[in-house]
Amino acid sequence: MIQQGQTLPEATLNELTHDGMESHQVKQLFANKRVILFAVPGAFTPTCSEAHLPGYVVLADQIKAKGIDIIACVAVNDAFVMQAWGEAQNASEIMMLGDGDASFTKALGLEMDTANFGGIRSQRYSMLIENGVVTMLNVEEGSQFAVSNAETMLAAL
Protein backbone atom coordinates (compact mmCIF):
# COMPACT_ATOMS: atom_id res chain seq x y z
CA MET A 1 0.00 0.00 0.00
CA ILE A 2 1.24 3.49 -0.81
CA GLN A 3 2.58 5.37 2.20
CA GLN A 4 3.02 8.99 3.21
CA GLY A 5 6.12 10.41 1.59
CA GLN A 6 5.79 8.30 -1.56
CA THR A 7 5.17 9.58 -5.07
CA LEU A 8 1.95 8.62 -6.81
CA PRO A 9 2.33 5.83 -9.39
CA GLU A 10 2.01 6.25 -13.13
CA ALA A 11 -1.61 5.77 -14.10
CA THR A 12 -4.37 7.17 -16.27
CA LEU A 13 -7.69 8.39 -14.89
CA ASN A 14 -10.59 9.45 -17.08
CA GLU A 15 -12.95 12.38 -16.74
CA LEU A 16 -16.00 13.17 -18.84
CA THR A 17 -16.30 16.95 -19.20
CA HIS A 18 -18.47 19.22 -21.31
CA ASP A 19 -15.68 19.05 -23.91
CA GLY A 20 -15.72 15.25 -24.02
CA MET A 21 -13.58 12.48 -22.57
CA GLU A 22 -10.26 13.53 -21.06
CA SER A 23 -7.56 11.05 -20.10
CA HIS A 24 -5.34 12.40 -17.33
CA GLN A 25 -1.87 11.12 -16.54
CA VAL A 26 -1.81 11.17 -12.74
CA LYS A 27 1.71 12.52 -12.45
CA GLN A 28 0.95 15.40 -14.82
CA LEU A 29 -2.49 16.13 -13.36
CA PHE A 30 -1.16 16.53 -9.81
CA ALA A 31 2.25 18.08 -10.60
CA ASN A 32 2.92 21.40 -8.86
CA LYS A 33 -0.46 21.30 -7.11
CA ARG A 34 -1.93 20.68 -3.66
CA VAL A 35 -4.70 18.12 -4.10
CA ILE A 36 -7.22 16.36 -1.92
CA LEU A 37 -7.99 13.00 -3.51
CA PHE A 38 -10.63 10.81 -1.96
CA ALA A 39 -11.83 7.42 -3.09
CA VAL A 40 -15.12 5.64 -2.70
CA PRO A 41 -16.04 2.00 -3.32
CA GLY A 42 -18.63 3.00 -5.90
CA ALA A 43 -20.67 5.84 -7.35
CA PHE A 44 -24.33 5.95 -6.33
CA THR A 45 -23.74 3.65 -3.33
CA PRO A 46 -25.35 4.56 0.01
CA THR A 47 -22.53 5.93 2.21
CA CYS A 48 -20.76 7.43 -0.79
CA SER A 49 -23.90 9.27 -1.95
CA GLU A 50 -25.34 10.19 1.43
CA ALA A 51 -22.17 11.31 3.24
CA HIS A 52 -18.79 10.98 1.55
CA LEU A 53 -19.19 13.00 -1.66
CA PRO A 54 -21.76 15.42 -0.17
CA GLY A 55 -19.33 16.36 2.61
CA TYR A 56 -16.74 17.45 0.07
CA VAL A 57 -19.38 19.29 -1.96
CA VAL A 58 -20.49 21.29 1.10
CA LEU A 59 -16.94 22.06 2.29
CA ALA A 60 -15.28 22.57 -1.13
CA ASP A 61 -14.94 26.35 -0.77
CA GLN A 62 -13.45 26.08 2.72
CA ILE A 63 -11.04 23.36 1.62
CA LYS A 64 -9.91 25.34 -1.43
CA ALA A 65 -9.45 28.42 0.78
CA LYS A 66 -6.74 26.41 2.60
CA GLY A 67 -4.63 26.35 -0.56
CA ILE A 68 -6.01 23.26 -2.24
CA ASP A 69 -5.93 23.48 -6.04
CA ILE A 70 -8.00 20.38 -6.84
CA ILE A 71 -10.49 18.25 -4.93
CA ALA A 72 -10.87 14.97 -6.79
CA CYS A 73 -13.03 11.92 -6.24
CA VAL A 74 -12.01 8.59 -7.75
CA ALA A 75 -13.86 5.29 -7.95
CA VAL A 76 -13.55 2.05 -9.87
CA ASN A 77 -16.31 3.16 -12.21
CA ASP A 78 -16.18 4.50 -15.75
CA ALA A 79 -16.03 8.23 -16.41
CA PHE A 80 -19.63 8.26 -17.67
CA VAL A 81 -20.91 6.99 -14.33
CA MET A 82 -18.65 9.37 -12.39
CA GLN A 83 -19.88 12.34 -14.43
CA ALA A 84 -23.54 11.38 -13.94
CA TRP A 85 -22.99 10.89 -10.20
CA GLY A 86 -21.23 14.25 -9.93
CA GLU A 87 -24.14 15.97 -11.66
CA ALA A 88 -26.68 14.20 -9.43
CA GLN A 89 -24.72 15.39 -6.37
CA ASN A 90 -24.14 18.98 -7.57
CA ALA A 91 -20.40 18.30 -7.35
CA SER A 92 -19.32 21.02 -9.77
CA GLU A 93 -16.25 21.87 -7.62
CA ILE A 94 -15.11 18.23 -7.47
CA MET A 95 -13.13 16.56 -10.25
CA MET A 96 -14.90 13.24 -10.82
CA LEU A 97 -12.35 10.67 -12.01
CA GLY A 98 -13.03 7.18 -13.28
CA ASP A 99 -10.59 4.33 -12.69
CA GLY A 100 -12.57 1.92 -14.85
CA ASP A 101 -10.09 -0.96 -14.84
CA ALA A 102 -8.86 -0.31 -11.26
CA SER A 103 -5.29 0.10 -12.49
CA PHE A 104 -4.68 3.25 -10.39
CA THR A 105 -6.33 1.71 -7.35
CA LYS A 106 -4.25 -1.46 -7.71
CA ALA A 107 -1.04 0.55 -8.22
CA LEU A 108 -1.78 2.28 -4.91
CA GLY A 109 -2.39 -1.09 -3.25
CA LEU A 110 -5.79 0.12 -2.06
CA GLU A 111 -8.06 -2.30 -3.89
CA MET A 112 -10.52 -4.68 -2.26
CA ASP A 113 -12.52 -7.54 -3.66
CA THR A 114 -16.21 -7.10 -2.96
CA ALA A 115 -17.03 -10.39 -4.72
CA ASN A 116 -20.59 -10.37 -6.03
CA PHE A 117 -21.23 -6.75 -4.93
CA GLY A 118 -19.07 -5.34 -7.69
CA GLY A 119 -15.77 -7.19 -7.88
CA ILE A 120 -12.56 -5.19 -7.47
CA ARG A 121 -13.29 -1.79 -5.93
CA SER A 122 -11.33 0.87 -4.09
CA GLN A 123 -11.03 1.01 -0.36
CA ARG A 124 -12.43 4.21 1.07
CA TYR A 125 -9.61 6.71 1.68
CA SER A 126 -8.53 10.32 1.44
CA MET A 127 -5.10 11.76 0.82
CA LEU A 128 -3.36 15.08 0.58
CA ILE A 129 -1.02 15.21 -2.39
CA GLU A 130 1.60 17.90 -2.76
CA ASN A 131 3.37 18.01 -6.13
CA GLY A 132 2.61 14.33 -6.70
CA VAL A 133 3.76 13.17 -3.25
CA VAL A 134 1.35 11.76 -0.68
CA THR A 135 1.77 13.90 2.43
CA MET A 136 -1.27 12.59 4.33
CA LEU A 137 -3.14 9.32 3.94
CA ASN A 138 -6.34 8.28 5.73
CA VAL A 139 -7.51 4.75 4.91
CA GLU A 140 -10.75 3.47 6.40
CA GLU A 141 -10.85 0.17 8.25
CA GLY A 142 -13.33 -2.25 6.67
CA SER A 143 -16.67 -0.57 6.04
CA GLN A 144 -15.96 2.34 8.40
CA PHE A 145 -16.45 5.99 7.45
CA ALA A 146 -14.54 7.98 10.04
CA VAL A 147 -11.19 9.27 8.71
CA SER A 148 -11.62 9.94 4.99
CA ASN A 149 -14.43 12.46 5.27
CA ALA A 150 -14.24 16.12 4.28
CA GLU A 151 -14.41 17.34 7.87
CA THR A 152 -11.29 15.35 8.85
CA MET A 153 -9.36 16.63 5.84
CA LEU A 154 -10.41 20.23 6.42
CA ALA A 155 -9.37 20.05 10.09
CA ALA A 156 -5.97 18.63 9.08
CA LEU A 157 -5.27 21.48 6.66
Residue-level pLDDT at 17:
94
Enumerate the β-bridge partners of residue 120.
113
Residues 6+ apart with CB under 8 A from 134: 2, 3, 4, 5, 6, 7, 8, 127, 128
Residue-level pLDDT at 112:
94
Residue-level pLDDT at 92:
96
Handedness of CA 4, 8, 14, 16 (dihedral sign): positive
Active-site choice (40, 48, 74, 82): 48
Residue-level pLDDT at 24:
98
Residue-level pLDDT at 46:
87
- Tens-digit pLDDT string for the chain (157 aa): 999 999 999 999 999 999 999 999 999 999 999 999 999 999 998 898 999 999 999 999 999 999 999 999 999 999 999 999 999 999 999 999 999 999 999 999 999 988 877 789 999 999 999 999 999 999 999 889 999 999 999 999 9
Closest CA to 103 of 28, 32, 30, 11: 11
Residue-level pLDDT at 117:
75
Contact of 129 with 104, CB cutoff 8 Å? no
- Domain ranges across the chain: 12-156
Residue-level pLDDT at 118:
77
Residue-level pLDDT at 142:
84
Question: What is the per-residue DSSP string for 57-80?
Answer: HHHHHHHHTTT-SEEEEEESS-HH
What is the rounded distance in angstroms from the CA atom of residue 115 to the CA atom of residue 109? 17
73 a catalytic residue: no
CATH architecture group of domain 12-156:
3-Layer(aba) Sandwich (3.40)
pTM: 0.96
Pairing mode, strands 34-39 and 70-75: parallel
